Amino acid sequence: MKKFTLVISSFISLNFLFAVSIYAAQFEKIWEFEINYSDPLNTVQSQPKEYLDKLFFVDGLGNLYALEKDNGKLLFKKFLGNNAGRRGFTIDEINDEVIITASQKLFVIDTQTGEILNSVDTIPSVVSPIVTDDCYIIIGSRGDAQCHEKNLKKIMWQTRLGSSARVWSNPIFSKKHNLVYFVTSNPGS
């Protein structure tokens, strides 16, 4: 039985995605997937996600990728726009969808095909959206938050913490307490 872990190595001109076995006597490379692009100022800070038989990740150019986790074969690549999932994206395991923001849009994407099922304009955000039973919560990078209905037809609520309350790290949601926790760069104003 092989257990896989994922390592992303970034270089100025190349990005590699590796799967390695942690049970091998030596640190054994199982497969490699190469993304060839150059942009030293636009780094990816999002971790890959494993779901069913796939690995999902983003690049610095605004693409979402899905690979077969056992062999690294490309299943789909979908261009979404600037800062796509820059610091995170979410997999809604109940609906088999990737929830991700890019270019001030919220996207709902089919995990099997990469098809964009729905999208809507939203606030600028670089962190993972939160999936609740009723909505998708987007925490903005400019101190605001919105809760979009899952059909994306309307915003259920929104709030503003202040322009200096920027959010750069991923929030968490406590379903038990119905609370969202996140860290800001400043307390807001």
pLDDT score of 61 = 85
Number of neighbouring beta carbons within 10 Å of residue 171: 18
In this prediction the pTM is 0.83
Distance CA 127, CA 144 (A): 12
pLDDT above 50: residue 47: yes
**Tens-place pLDDT, residues 107-127:** 999 999 999 999 999 999 988
Residue in 103, 87, 100 with CA at minimum distance from that of residue 43: 87
**Tens-place pLDDT, residues 73-101:** 999 999 999 888 888 999 999 999 999 99
CB neighbour burial string for 100-126, b if at least 16 within 10 angstroms, e if fewer: bbbeebbbbbbbeebeeeebbebbebb
